[in-house]
Chains A and B, each alone.
Chain A
């Protein structure tokens, strides 16, 4: 386009923002239908065992109870999951695999009645000693949590000759790193509302992340064809990867109950239910070994990654692949061997959470880069710079990008703005006996979109009405991240329409195309590309029509400010509404349904060598901290976050993603840990599970780098996840720098800091 961007690259407020600030936005729990029943699950309450008998008789007689749903009532296979064969029962039994397993669903007139009745259900469970340690789960003699054993998934990455690489290395560093379970802790707990329709169809309103995934499971588990199930996604109060499995379970159960009763059934999780009955981030144990030459050139890396997947597979296979591919970091390392496994344990299952394996391995990798720098006596920034991936170089999967590798730019920006290395001296000079200062760096990359996880297709529709207003539909979802706004901007830019005239509808599986899950920072990149394509098609109609009206070739026409005009003579213009009306009466198509398909991943499945991701987001973070050595409390004094986002469609939204993901990264690295004892969660509330408050906010400064990718609209790459890993790793390195102690376990809580200081 010869005209400068009008909307793309402008900071704009959310197009659905007015609903959100006025309280008009309806989330699932806000919807009202006459005759709605409430339902709650009776959970197992023990981590492992055999359900001998389930007595629901008293619950059935309890006041207000309409139904107590037990496995025998389910018409379908009573199984859900991400990859077949599915292994997670909607209602468990006889095998109990974690304390949050649902045994029965109690449906009653009110929430209180449902809760009261659920407490009357008697579950006779013969307890087993729970398997809680992922390493123990892999012992040959360990009890099998699932029939095929406790290994959920294992993958290997091989590049070069790692033995030769280490033999050649002049310095080798080796350590084990651990990370803990992080909860999504979105402010809106999971909720579903299933409504049986008069025509025999089932509508399920759900606070979900992947409506089509949900639809498929509801259909199978209620015995309806998928075409008779409609999933509608109202406003969602945050998801971060979390609203898949649990909501699938809830939607299937509520759907089965609603069909059985002929009345709407709602399940709204309490916060405790959200902790017990949804999935979380995988805890990880990472053995990492890195070999380098004296000059800092990294030659070889070997990693063994063990992910604690909890009771069910969920997204474990894909998290395994992502961790596998990212443990090498954003560096050119010729020799690699990575083994990554996920195992079953008798804990709440782990699944997708913002970062998807990358925060765990980035922490390990970046900690080890610092260890290597110490060993070599090299500057930490220099070491990263020396090994940084650039255009034309092979990454861990031997994939070579010829564009959009902005890592070095992010390193440079952070160095300049952070005044590295002078900032180090200043920080250390400011030390006093109690308060120690330190600076941490972390470089990272994160693959954008599904990559090796499967086909990557998104459908989008763009429809221009005769009045010049535009309706956009997309199969990916708004979860708070601002995707509707970004999609509106893309359509507005191409059609020359002002943003106010664009609507982006909420996802309803009847009206949009199955586009896979809203995950992997893919919405702007692949989804935006689909909107771009559909808008381009409609633009063609408008240009041709305007050409006829202005008596000029279509190529001479430009669209903008809700008008069509001659590029050479802007006085010659027609309101877009007139063009659209004329196009309608002329019979030009004003709607288009487009599918963007990312280039397929092509790689060797044994070695994970090949083309895996369509692009990577690269980033560098710098954090300066002050540690109170008396209390272990840490204050973050400075935080610089530079990311290569390709092109920021909405800089305000991008900044919001960077700030929000970074604080979640601080939580991961410093405060948050789901604590469990004998397989029972001890801190299933916000008093004891420490999500960051205002007092912990970060002074994040975002330093954008824009190296465009041809695989995204206007060059854009996703930014939803990457900063989490960068901030977490930088924090760990900063605290380690401040205290001269290498922390190898996250979160680095005040308590762990004091323990380390006391030796």
Chain B
């Protein structure tokens, strides 16, 4: 047995999974390469851009700064787990499309997940609250305004 293998079990996009990993493996590598969840994007590898944002027990974290061993016992949501199993888009996903909040799309998965975490705790956020909650996510294409618009649109849809 490999002494360095760390057994972990966690809930990934609603499904229990277990595996063994190296202690210094990053969560982003496990999710992308081990589970094929390539919606987790690597933009900087240093926790500066937010493209790799996933939800860990509902909170947004940078998968590039997270050791995979820390997933043990947690609930993990990636962008692939956000739409319903039948493929119905989450209101945030629809709103991002409708508001034109997506251009190249590379920041979009992380942005949407950070926004979901916000709406889960703060269903009717102000523009400032949105900007603050998403401030760990960079976007180089849109200029951000349409992303704020999309989150408000989604909030209204969810509250309806």
Residue positions of A touching B, CB distance < 8 A: 11, 13-14, 17-27, 29-30, 32, 184-189, 235-238, 240, 270-271, 479-482, 652-653, 655-656, 659-664, 685-687, 691, 693-695, 697-700
Contacts and interface: CB of A to CB of B under 8 A. Distances in A.
A187 B39 contact: no
B: contact size bracket: 35 or more
B140 interface: yes
B106 A186 contact: yes
Contacts of A29: 38, 42
Nearest to B81: A23
B103 interface: yes
B98 A686 contact: no
Nearest to A31: B38
Given A27-B41, A700-B143, A32 B36 contact: yes
A693 B135 contact: yes
A20 B138 contact: no
Nearest to A185: B140
Contact of A685 (B44, B146, B148): B44
Contacts of A189: 42-43
A188 B106 contact: yes
Nearest to B37: A23
Interface in B87-132: 89, 93, 96-98, 100, 102-109, 112, 131-132
Contact of B145 (A236, A481, A700): A700
Contacts of A662: 143
A652 B100 contact: yes
Contacts of A14: 97, 100, 102
B138 A237 contact: no
The 4 A-B pairs of least Cβ separation, nearest first, read A23-B39, A480-B104, A237-B106, A20-B105
B142 to A, nearest CB: 5
Given A659-B146, A691-B138, A26 B51 contact: no
A685 B80 contact: no
B82 interface: yes
Interface of B: 32, 36-46, 48-49, 51, 78-80, 82-83, 89, 93, 96-98, 100, 102-109, 112, 131-132, 134-135, 137-146, 148
A27 B112 contact: no
Given A23-B80, A237-B41, A660 B100 contact: no
Contact of A659 (B41, B93, B134, B145): B145
B105 A22 contact: no
B100 A653 contact: yes
A32 B112 CA distance: 25
B103 A21 contact: no
A21 B135 contact: no
Contact of B44 (A271, A653, A663): A271
From B51, B112, B134, B139, residue with most partner A Cβ within 10 Å: B139
Contact of A481 (B93, B103, B109, B148): B103
B123 to A, nearest CB: 20
A22 B100 contact: no
Contact of B41 (A187, A236, A271): A187
Given A271-B45, A695-B131, A22 B97 contact: no
Contacts of B105: 17, 19-21, 25, 235, 237, 480
Contacts of A686: 44, 46, 48-49, 138
Nearest to B82: A22
Given A270-B45, A697-B143, 5 more contacts: A21-B96, A22-B82, A23-B109, A25-B105, A694-B137
Nearest to A727: B143
Given A24-B39, A27-B106, A691 B140 contact: yes
Contacts of A11: 100
A390 B49 CA distance: 44
A653 B83 CA distance: 25
Contacts of A19: 105
From A187, A695, A698, residue with most partner B Cβ within 10 Å: A187
A237 B143 contact: no
A186 B41 CA distance: 13
Contact of B79 (A23, A186, A481, A695): A23
A187 B104 contact: yes
Contact of B97 (A18, A32, A236, A663): A18
Contacts of B143: 656, 659-663, 697-698, 700
A691 B37 CA distance: 27
A664 B48 contact: no
